[in-house]
Amino acid sequence: MFHNNAAIRQFFKIAICVAVLTALEIGVYAAIGRFSLQVLWGALFGAAASALNFLALTVTVSRAADRAEGGDPIKARAAVQGSSVLRLLVLAAAYILVLRFTTFDPLAAVLPLVFVQISISLMEFFRKDGEKNGSQRP
């Protein structure tokens, strides 16, 4: 069982920010007159895929950090590297399958993949000086 509360809180903050950005994406589609059910389904799929990908990254890195602190940095590094390859393959396979169907708008499905990085940047920008960002600074 995963018990790193700071990582879980960070994930929920990112997931909320991704949801807000996805809602903005759908709003932009509506504002320019291009909204459709395909856009909605694509955006929802993309948001879910990007959030789940970030969750998998969060859990893997947190467990690897625990393993490295326990004295096994080689296995920790291998776990992170293996996870990144596996996550990329799963994400690519999911997108290949989804984009073959006309039920999903391709651009609306792919855009949320960048929303995690935007969310992280926004959270860092608005972070107060006294707050920790997950890393230990001397």
Kindly report, residue by residue over 46-93, the tens digit of the pLDDT.
999 999 999 999 999 888 888 888 888 888 889 899 999 999 999 999
User: Which long-range CB contacts under 8 A does 103-106 form with residues at least 24 apart?
Assistant: 103/37, 103/38, 103/41, 104/38, 104/41, 104/42, 104/45, 105/36, 105/38, 105/39, 105/41, 105/42, 105/43, 106/42
pLDDT at 1 over 80: no
Residue 17 has pLDDT above 70, yes or no: yes
E strand spans, 19-90: none
Q: How far apart are CA 40 and CA 118, in angstroms?
A: 20
User: For residue 52, with 0-12 CB atoms within 10 Å meaning exposed, 13-18 middle and 19 or more buried, which class applies?
Assistant: middle
Q: How far apart are CA 62 and CA 50, in angstroms?
A: 18
Would the CA dihedral through 50, 54, 57, 59 be positive or negative? negative
pTM of the entire structure? 0.84
- At residue 138, does pLDDT exceed 50? no
**Residues 84/5, Cβ–Cβ less than 8 Å:** no
Mean pLDDT of 120-133: 80
End-to-end CA distance of the chain: 30
Task: List the single range of 37-41, 64-68, 105-109, 129-133 with lowest mean pLDDT.
Answer: 129-133
